[in-house]
Amino acid sequence: MNSLSSLTGREILDSRGRPTVECRCVLSGGAWALASVPSGASTGSAEARELRDGDPQRYLGLGCRTAAAHLSGEIHQAFAGRSFADQRQFDRDLIELDGTADKSRLGANALLAASLAFARAVALDRGVPLYDHFAGLLGDIPRQLPRLTINLFSGGKHAGGQVPIQDVLIVPSSAASTDVALSQAFAVYQAAARLTLEKYGMRALTADEGGLAPPFPDAESMLSDAVAAIRAAGLQPGTDVALAVDVAATHFYDGRHYHWGSQRLDSGEMVQLLAGWLDRFPVVSIEDGLAENDWSAWPELCRCLAPRALVLGDDLLCTNPARIRRAIESRSATALLLKVNQIGTLSEAADALRLASGAGWRVTVSARSGETEDNWLADLAVGWSADQIKVGSITQSERLAKYNRLLAIESDTHLPLVAWPAAPAENSGFAP
Ligand code: PGA
Ligand code: ZN
């Protein structure tokens, strides 16, 4: 392979107007590529650490000039002129150069930008599509296209906390293609916007990922309004379009109780509440139904929900192999939410994916609430044959960049769209 000629970092802005990092990687043969990294707001405590400048006079301390300077400086100096056997060696050397367990010295944002830009430059150098190159990192080929899970309604940390839970997503569960899934999502979103206007007197207020965020009186209203929107779009709830929920429970847990409106629920009550949703609503996936460190209650959550819905771990797992291993051993989840920037390099994210799939889990490749117009996530989801992809709503260009890339990959490859694990209507107690 060509040697690496240069790495350059740059501070750019994400979809919230906050700084993030872009890296340019140039190989000696002339191939070069850019890649930029996303950033979360409802973060897990076990995530790799982004490096922020901390200058309160500039972007509230969120500047990324130091991380970008590490790319152009120390990382460039250590890597320029060298050849790498593969992505794993490149990532291993990045991790060693940083030298910290949480990537806080050089910054997980700098490291991931380098990891991605290198992968993209090598793919260009090889003359293969990025999704093929990503598949090659796993010694595999792309086998399927991911099923879409699309934010419809938002609350929690992405919408000013008007309800405790973070997102209600729609899952076009029987659509035969990405193309059809997107057109159904559009129809439901438009119906939900009309409903929001009629019921709450507003339609324009959207949350960080483009979900509608009216002042719902409670979380159950988000679910019943979502069902109403699916019906109003002329689709069958649970058969054509099912629901997924990101409870993001870490963010309303105080270490003993879940703050649920005026109530204080213990872990068992939280589990019962979520199990009840499966009877009343066509919910096929529940993410972070409990807090990230409420480990002792997760097996019970899994026992109660898993026969009927995916038990998806985001903050719980943080794309971290050690946490995933613990969750597999304790039977705490059945699906991994994979966010590459939670762990900081492509190779470590690949390890997380291997562990989860090896345990028979499903995998959702996910964007962050702060995104850029970069579309590598779509290639990653296809290359790694993810079961689901979670990009946000079907508004806002930082989200559409990924959907549009999925459409392009679909028309180029004709890969099949992965089936939902079982027909949602049969799975859920909900009667359409
Ligand atoms: P984040 O949220 O990107 O703000 O962390 C997304 C999620 O919780 O899935
Ligand atoms: Zn989440």
pLDDT range class, residue 142, cuts 50, 70, 90: very high
- Pocket test residue of 339, 363, 396 for ligand 1, highest count of atoms within 8 A of CB: 339
Residue 247 in contact with ligand 1 by CB distance below 6 A: no
What is residue 113's DSSP assignment?
H
Return the ligand number nearest the Cα of 246.
2
- Which atom of ligand 1 is closest in space to residue 368's alpha carbon? 3
Return the ligand number nearest the Cα of 149.
1
Per-residue confidence (pLDDT) for residue 307, from 0 to 100: 87
- Ligand 2 centroid from CA 310, angstroms: 13
- Ligand 1 centroid from CA 29, angstroms: 38
Residue 314 in contact with ligand 1 by CB distance below 6 A: yes
- Ligand 2 centroid from CA 390, angstroms: 10
Residue 128 has pLDDT above 60, yes or no: yes
What is the Cβ-side half-sphere exposure of residue 294, based on CA atoms within 13 angstroms?
29
- Pocket test residue of 208, 251, 368 for ligand 1, highest count of atoms within 8 A of CB: 368
Cross-sheet strand order for the sheet of 32-36: 4-13, 19-27, 32-36
Residue 388 has pLDDT above 50, yes or no: yes
Residue 204 has pLDDT above 70, yes or no: no
Give how far Cα 117 sits from Cα of 7, 17, 69, 301, Å: 9, 22, 16, 39
d(C-alpha 129, C-alpha 134), whole Å: 9
- Ligand 2 centroid from CA 119, angstroms: 26
Structural domains of the chain ordered from first start: 4-127 (3.30.390.10), 147-413 (3.20.20.120)
pLDDT in tens, 401-421: 999 999 999 999 999 999 886
Its pTM surpasses 0.95: yes
**Alpha helices for 259-396 (secondary structure H):** 267-280, 298-305, 321-329, 340-343, 346-358, 376-383
